[in-house]
Amino acid sequence: MYIVAEKEIAGLMTPAAAFEAIEAVFAAMAARKAYNFPVVREAIGYEDALYGFKGGFDGAALTLGLKAGGYWPNNQKHNLINHQSTIFLFDADTGRAKAAIGGNLLTALRTAAASAVSIKYLAPKGAKVLGMIGAGHQSAFQMKAAAAVHSFEKVIGWNPHPEMLTRLAETAAGLGLPFEAVELDRLGAEADVIISITSAFSPLLMDAHVKGETHIAAMGTDTKGKQELDPALVARARIFTDEVAQSISIGETQHAIAAHLIAEEAVHELGAVVTGAIPGRDGAEVTLFDGTGVGLQDLAVAAKVLELAIEKGLAQQAEL
> Does an H or E element contain 9, and which?
helix 6-12
Distance CA 101, CA 124 (A): 37
Please state, as a whole number, how many other Cβ atoms lie within 10 Å of the Cβ of residue 79. Answer: 6
| Residues 60, 35 contacting (CB under 8 angstroms) | no
pLDDT band at 90 (very low <50, low <70, confident <90, very high): very high
pLDDT of residue 223: 86
pLDDT of residue 137: 87
Distance CA 174, CA 284 (A): 33
Please state, as a whole number, how many other Cβ atoms lie within 10 Å of the Cβ of residue 244. Answer: 20
Per-residue pLDDT tens digits for 275-296 = 999 999 999 999 999 999 999 9
Distance CA 107, CA 81 (A): 12
Query: Is 0.85 topped by the overall pTM?
Result: yes
Q: Is the pLDDT of residue 320 over 90?
A: no
Mean pLDDT value of segment 199-207? 96
Smallest Cα–Cα separation from 65: which of 116, 103, 16?
A: 103
Q: Give the whole-number percent of the chain exceeding pLDDT 70.
A: 100
pLDDT band at 162 (very low <50, low <70, confident <90, very high): very high
Provide the annotated active-site residues: 67
Mean pLDDT value of segment 31-37? 95
Q: Is the pLDDT of residue 222 over 90?
A: no
Mean pLDDT value of segment 167-195? 98
pLDDT of residue 181: 98
pLDDT band at 22 (very low <50, low <70, confident <90, very high): very high
pLDDT band at 83 (very low <50, low <70, confident <90, very high): confident
Please state, as a whole number, how many other Cβ atoms lie within 10 Å of the Cβ of residue 307. Answer: 14
Q: Please, what is the average pLDDT of the chain?
A: 96
Q: Give the whole-number percent of the chain exceeding pLDDT 90.
A: 95
pLDDT band at 119 (very low <50, low <70, confident <90, very high): very high
Q: Is the pLDDT of residue 39 over 90?
A: no
Q: Is the pLDDT of residue 65 over 90?
A: yes
